[in-house]
Structure 1
Amino acid sequence: MISYVTLGVSDLAAAKAFYGELLADMGAKVLIDMDRISFIGKSMAAPMLAVCIPFNQEPAQAGNGTMVSFAPGSKEGVDAMYHKAIALGATCEGAPGERVADVFYGAYVKDPDGNKLCFNIFM
């Protein structure tokens, strides 16, 4: 059910080194490495941990950059979960669509308490 969990960090290189080492014995490694975010896990088909510099460029702190992502299994599933969340009172943080061409399709919402959620599929 869970695709990945994001943790905001202030130093991406240090975070990748720390979590890469910490999780290595579990078979995890950096799978996707981009400008401000890296995904660490066993495979893109299994739950991952993402470490990132917060998108809003504010200092990283608990809750800032933190997000829970759910993998519904298809683009149609992403769309359906996004629309259901909105119908249940969530607010849009990014409508469904490709975020990284041929790699990532997702949608973002904040629940009624302001917790950021993502619905995604890695293609």
Structure 2
Amino acid sequence: MMSTQNPSIISHVSIGTNDYEKARAFYNVVLATLDINIIMEHPGAIAYGRMYPEFWVCTPHDGQPATLGNGFHMGFIALTKDQVHAFYDAAIAAGAICDGPPGPRPLYSDAYYGCFVRDLDGHKIEAAFWDEELAAKLQDH
């Protein structure tokens, strides 16, 4: 029997929250725009993914307040540019702060289209669409 290899390169990422119920409600709405769902949940911790529990939001296990990591951000794959906009709109409506509205970022690549927001705890999150057809054309030149 042939098994399918997990396409992810990271087992999972966890971010801390100081208000679990608000963070849970925020991510339920925002990640749904990218067809990302709850995979599992434990008291004070929830995991999201499409097939695997790749993104966790939880209260810190050590009981200390959650803090931000300078330079850290989490990027989610959008399947279309419309999903980038839906992610951004849902995040802003749910209380996120804009950290870069939807649009191209030629500095990254002409094939990149994304947005950045700060969640309710201040974590920087991104939704990005990668235009595979355009990327292939760019490589040919």
Q: TM-score, normalised by structure 2?
A: 0.42
Which one has the largest radius of gyration?
2
Q: TM-score, normalised by structure 1?
A: 0.48
Task: Say which structure, 1 or 2, has more relative contact order (CA 8 Å, 6+ apart).
Answer: 1
**Which structure dedicates a bigger proportion of its chain to strand?**
1
